Structure formats: C-alpha cells, structure tokens
Structure 1
C-alpha cells in the first residue's frame, strides 16, 4: 500500500490527508457533510477511507465532482439556484461563494431594500430581536458597588 499524503488539494483548498474523505471534503466552503457523503456515494469512494490514501485518479474525480456538483446533483441540492446573473442552477464553492454572497448584499444595499438597509446599518436582518442581543461596544449592565471595608473603611 502506498503512503498516505499529508495534504491533498481539492477544490482549491488544502485538505488533511489523514482525515476521512467525507469529513475532509466538508472542510471546503460550500460543501457540507451531506454534500460530501453524496459525492462519495456517487463516485463509489469509501467516505471513511483516509483522503491521502486515494489514488491520483480518484482525487481528480473528487475534484471534478466538487467543482461540478450542479451536473451530478438535482437542482434542490444546490446552494445557488436560478443565479441572478446567469439564470442557471449552480453550486458555488470557496471564494466564488463568498464573492457571490457579498455581491448579493451589495445589490440589496444599492436597491435600498429592507434587508439591504439592515445590512448597511449592521443590524439583525432576519427578524431576530435586538433588545438584548447584537449590541455594540462594551457590555452594559448593572455595575457592582465596592464592598465597604470592615473597621470603618479607613486604611491603616
């Protein structure tokens, strides 16, 4: 049996070779545990085998599947359905996912939608209460008074 590689690069992310395939794939932004197990099942890879012990061919298949999940998974499984720019169902990973989320927030701010206004103000966006959480600055509360020194409070 060949050596287990310490670091394997899949989906533009360095993954630990000692971890099980499914749990290592879940470290990629945009791929969760369910997606990782689905990819392993689809490709016929043992999800509990160490990632570093896979052959180069299996790793290239994993890389292709992670990048093209929209081709092997149903539309309801993807994280970006009906993309506003392209109109297609896609699954974004890594920096593409981060940039898409930022551009969506910028668009909401530009349109001055309710969610955009809340994002711009740095407040809760999804209807959470703000009375006790989401506060800025140092903690606010009741300040404790210093206890009086026994013996009249005068130091000797």
Structure 2
C-alpha cells in the first residue's frame, strides 16, 4: 500500500480511531469490543492482525462494521459475546457503542422498577457487586474527627504553666 492510502484517523462505528495502532488494538478502542473480541473478528474475516488500522481497505472496514451490525456473529463461543441470553430475544448478542450504553441503562432501570437488590443498590448509589462499603466508596465532603474536651488544652491551663516559669 502506498503512503497516500494510509489513514491516520479511521472512522469506525461513528467514532474516530487512531490509524497508527495495530488492528486488534485499534478495534479495542471502540466501546464494546475488547482485544480478544477484536482478534476473533479479524481472524473470522481473514484480516491480518499485524496490519495497522490505517492500512485496512474500505472494503475490510465495511466487513468489520457489517459483522457487528446484526449483533449476532455466527459460529463463535458464547463467552465472546457481551450480552449472553438477552432478556427479550434469549440469544447471545454483541452490542457496540451507543447500543451497548442504551441496553445497560435499560437493564438498570428495569432492576430499579422491579426493586430487586441490585436495583435498590443502584438507586441508592451504593456498590452493587458485594464489595465492602465500610471504608471505601465514600462520596461527598469529608468530615474531620471532632476532639473531646479532655484532649484539647484549655486556655486556663496554658496561662498557669506560663506563670510557673
């Protein structure tokens, strides 16, 4: 490929991605695609994983977008997908970019409406996945420890000590 065909910025899924990165790392910059998923996609489409993202042709980029556009990638193990056993369809799906954000937001709202444990934790702004909350995850302004009267030296004691000297 000649230097004129190399693109330093590649448009993928409505997002600008650095074209100087290797293809799997560049694809991983898109929300919803990780490094392993990117490698599987490239392997499935017979695209060299060592190519830079800016070296890919328009046809190859279009094949990548079309593969993820229907949200169902054929003949892949279920653990690759980021949405296994979808509630509405019952299928293993893979969402990217704003679709992923929308689906996750809807899941949280559904759990809040059902008043499930996770929904209640989300609505209260607390940790959801069983982490400790005694010392971590505190929000808001910090409040210092208030000392007791016995710990604070009073003005009368200081003046008596100065008179003895």
- List per-residue Cα deviations over 1:58-104 (Å, max 9, x = no partner): 11112222334622323232111221122222111111111111100
C-alpha distance in 1 between matches for 2:88 and 2:31: 21
Count of aligned pairs:
143
Alignment match, 1:118:
121
Select the residue among 6, 9, 18 that pairs with 2:8: 6
Please say if residues 68 and 95 of structure 2, whose CA atoms lie closer than 8 Å, have aligned partners that are also in contact.
no
User: Counterparts of 1:96 and 1:69 in 2: how far apart (Å)?
Assistant: 10
Q: What CA distance in whole angstroms lies between the structure 2 residues aligned with 1:65 and 1:28?
A: 14
Tell me, which stretches of 5 or more residues in structure 2 are unaligned?
Answer: 147-165
Provide the C-alpha distance between the structure 2 equivalents of 1:137 and 1:78, rounded to a whole number of angstroms.
37
Considering only CA atoms, is the larger Rg found in Structure 1 or Structure 2? 2
Partner of 2:80: 77
Q: Indicate whether 1:59 and 2:99 are aligned.
A: no
Q: Distance in 2 between matches of 1:71 and 1:13?
A: 21
Aligned to 1:29: 31
Choose which of 127, 132, 137 in structure 1 pairs with 2:135. 132
The CA distance in 2 between the partners of 1:52 and 1:74, in whole Å, is: 29
Q: Which residue of 1 aligns with 2:90?
A: 87
What is the root-mean-square deviation of aligned Cα atoms in Å?
1.8
Write the distance in 1 (CA, Å) between the matches of 2:25 and 2:67: 16
Task: Give the 3-state SS of the residue equivalent to 1:84 in structure 2.
Answer: coil
Report if the CA contact (8 A) 1:18-1:51 is conserved: yes
Question: What residue ranges of structure 1 are gaps of 5+ in the alignment?
Answer: 144-156
* Contact residue 11 and residue 66 of structure 1 kept, 8 A: no
* Mapped partners of 1:142, 1:41: distance in 2: 59
CA contact (8 A) 1:11 1:67 kept: no
TM value normalised by structure 1: 0.83
| Structure of greater relative contact order (alpha carbons < 8 Å, 6+ residues apart) | 1
Q: In the alignment, which residue of structure 2 is the partner of 1:147? A: none
Aligned residues of 2:82 and 2:94 also touching (Cα < 8 A): yes
Matched residues in 1 for 2:67 and 2:143: separation? 49
